[in-house]
Amino acid sequence: MMRRATGRGTINLNTNGSLPNEVEKLCRAGLQSIRVSMNSARPEYYNKYFRPKAYCFDQAKRSISVVKANGAFASINYFILPGFTDQESEWNALRKLISETGLDLIQMRNLNIDPEWYLKMLRPDLSENKIGIRSLILRIRDEFPDVRLGYFNPPLD
């Protein structure tokens, strides 16, 4: 219906990605872009933070893959907390997510939350090696030069 009204603009969906089958239908109906919110590329921490009901991390990941399989643009709204997001194991999980889904854009967002509460809730191993946020960005750019880093949904037209 939107496309009948105008050919301008990008049809984007901001979502938790919980319904990949519905995302597939939306792609067939003209969806051009998706942004899935994530605090972590590691399922255990994603699930602890979002506490999903009737879905899981794998469905959010699959929604990204569905969009890419339909030739559309996929991004994540990636909530950043230094000391957690820049752990070596988070980087390894993020690179796996990028490789497996074909992600186009990572929108890095400051996680506006009480860090003590967040870390108490997630209970990550804080002794794990940290690479630093700057190094995380450099690694993304080096290993995935086609993945954009940004803060807004880009217009696709």
User: Whole-prediction pTM value?
Assistant: 0.92
**Gap between the Cα atoms of 77 and 152, Å rounded:** 9
At residue 134, what is the residue type? R
Is residue 106 within 8 A of residue 147, CB to CB? The reply is yes
| DSSP per position, 78-96 | EEE-TTTTTBHHHHHHHHH
Return the DSSP state at 54.
Answer: S
In order along its 157 residues, the chain shows pLDDT tens digits of: 777 788 888 889 999 999 999 999 999 999 999 999 999 999 999 999 999 999 999 999 999 999 999 999 999 999 999 999 999 999 999 999 999 999 999 999 998 899 999 999 999 998 999 999 999 999 999 999 999 998 877 777 7
Is residue 109 within 8 A of residue 76, CB to CB? The reply is no
Q: Write down the architecture of domain 10-150 according to CATH.
A: Alpha-Beta Barrel (3.20)
SS3 for 59? Answer: helix
